[in-house]
Structure 1
Amino acid sequence: MSTDVVRTPAPSIAGVGTAVSPTSYSQQDVLDTFGISDPRIRSVFLNSAIERRHLTLPPMTDDGTPSSETQGDLLDKHKGLAIDMGVRALRACLDDVGATLADIRYLCCVTSTGFLTPGLSALLIRELGIDRHCARADVVGMGCNAGLNGLNAVSSWAAVNPGELAVLVCTEACSAAYTLDATMRTAVVNSLFGDGAAALAVVGGTGSDASGANGHPRVLKFASCLIPEAIDAMRYDWDGAQNRFSFFLDPQVPYVVGAHAELVTDRLLAGTGLCRSDIRHWLVHSGGKKVIDAVMVNLGLSRYDVRHTTGVLRDFGNLSSGSFLFSYERLLREKVTASGDYGVLMTMGPGSTIETALIQW
Structure 2
Amino acid sequence: MTTSTGLLDADLVETPASEEKDTAGAARIVGVGTATTEHSYTQRELLDIFKITDPRVRSVFLNSAIERRFLTVPPRDAEGTCLPETQGELLAKHRRLALEMGAKAVHACLDNSGIELSDIDYLCCVTTTGFLTPGLSARLIRHMGILPDTSRVDIVGMGCNAGLNALNATAAWAVANPGKVAVILCAEACSAAYVIDSTMRTAVVNSLFGDGAAAIALISDGPDTAYAPSGVASFPGSPRVLRFASQLIPDAIDAMRYDWDDQQGKFSFYLDPEVPYVVGANAEQVIDRLLTGAGLRRSDIRQWLVHSGGKKVIDAVRVNLGLTRHHVRHTTGVLRDFGNLSSGSFLFSYERLLKEGVVEAGDYGVLMTMGPGSTIETALVQW
The change in CA–CA distance for 1:92 and 1:294 in structure 2 (over 3 A counts) is same
Task: Indicate conservation of the 8 Å contact 1:12/1:217, yes or no.
Answer: yes
Q: Aligned letter for 1:93?
A: C
Establish whether residue 147 from structure 1 lines up as the match of residue 163 from structure 2.
yes
Establish whether residue 26 from structure 1 lines up as the match of residue 46 from structure 2.
no
Establish whether residue 234 from structure 1 lines up as the match of residue 256 from structure 2.
yes
Percent identity for Structure 1 against Structure 2: 68
> Corresponding residue for 2:135?
119
Task: Indicate conservation of the 8 Å contact 1:175/1:194, yes or no.
Answer: yes
Q: Aligned letter for 1:315?
A: D
Establish whether residue 6 from structure 1 lines up as the match of residue 21 from structure 2.
yes
Q: Aligned letter for 2:215?
A: A
From 54, 62, 65, give the equivalent of 2:78.
62
Task: Indicate conservation of the 8 Å contact 1:6/1:220, yes or no.
Answer: no
From 264, 270, 273, give the equivalent of 2:292.
270
Distance 1:179 1:232 in 2: 19
Task: Indicate conservation of the 8 Å contact 1:11/1:210, yes or no.
Answer: no
Q: Aligned letter for 1:96?
A: N
CA offsets per residue over residues 265-284 of structure 1, 9 Å max, x none?
Answer: 01211221100000000000
Distance 1:140 1:213 in 2: 30
Task: Indicate conservation of the 8 Å contact 2:256/2:271, yes or no.
Answer: yes
Task: Indicate conservation of the 8 Å contact 2:175/2:222, yes or no.
Answer: no
* 1:18 alignment partner, SS class: strand
From 351, 364, 373, give the equivalent of 1:351.
373
The change in CA–CA distance for 1:214 and 1:107 in structure 2 (over 3 A counts) is same
Please state how far the C-alpha of 1:210 moved relative to its aligned partner: 7.2
Which one is further off, 213-222 or 157-166?
213-222
CA RMSD of aligned residues (A): 1.6
> Corresponding residue for 1:214?
236
Q: Aligned letter for 1:297?
A: V
From 35, 47, 58, give the equivalent of 2:63.
47
Task: Indicate conservation of the 8 Å contact 2:34/2:212, yes or no.
Answer: yes
Distance 1:89 1:210 in 2: 21
* 2:217 alignment partner, SS class: strand
* 1:75 alignment partner, SS class: helix
Task: Indicate conservation of the 8 Å contact 2:179/2:232, yes or no.
Answer: no
> Corresponding residue for 1:181?
197
> Corresponding residue for 2:351?
329
If the length of structure 1 is used for normalisation, what is the TM-score? 0.97
If the length of structure 2 is used for normalisation, what is the TM-score? 0.92
Task: Indicate conservation of the 8 Å contact 1:173/1:196, yes or no.
Answer: yes
Which one is further off, 216-225 or 202-211?
202-211
CA offsets per residue over residues 187-224 of structure 1, 9 Å max, x none?
Answer: 00000000000000000112588799711000000110
Distance 2:298 2:310 in 1: 23
> Corresponding residue for 1:78?
94
For residues 277-356 of structure 1, the aligned pairs below 5 Å read 277-356=299-378
* 2:333 alignment partner, SS class: helix
* 1:87 alignment partner, SS class: helix
Please state how far the C-alpha of 1:153 moved relative to its aligned partner: 1.3
Distance 1:98 1:56 in 2: 31
Distance 2:29 2:342 in 1: 20
CA offsets per residue over residues 315-361 of structure 1, 9 Å max, x none?
Answer: 00000000000000000001101110000000000000000000000
Establish whether residue 192 from structure 1 lines up as the match of residue 208 from structure 2.
yes
> Corresponding residue for 1:35?
51
Distance 1:11 1:27 in 2: 39
Distance 2:156 2:181 in 1: 22
> Corresponding residue for 2:268?
246
Please state how far the C-alpha of 1:13 moved relative to its aligned partner: 0.4
* 1:21 alignment partner, SS class: coil
Distance 1:222 1:177 in 2: 30
**Any unmatched runs of 5+ in structure 2?**
1-16, 226-230
Please state how far the C-alpha of 1:132 moved relative to its aligned partner: 1.0
Please state how far the C-alpha of 1:4 moved relative to its aligned partner: 8.9
Task: Indicate conservation of the 8 Å contact 2:219/2:232, yes or no.
Answer: no
* 1:167 alignment partner, SS class: strand
From 121, 124, 134, give the equivalent of 2:150.
134
* 2:183 alignment partner, SS class: strand
Which one is further off, 268-277 or 334-343?
268-277
* 1:5 alignment partner, SS class: helix
Please state how far the C-alpha of 1:128 moved relative to its aligned partner: 1.1
Distance 1:210 1:303 in 2: 34
Please state how far the C-alpha of 1:9 moved relative to its aligned partner: 2.2
Task: Indicate conservation of the 8 Å contact 2:113/2:235, yes or no.
Answer: no
Task: Indicate conservation of the 8 Å contact 1:165/1:203, yes or no.
Answer: yes
CA offsets per residue over residues 92-118 of structure 1, 9 Å max, x none?
Answer: 000001011100000000000000000
Distance 2:92 2:304 in 1: 36
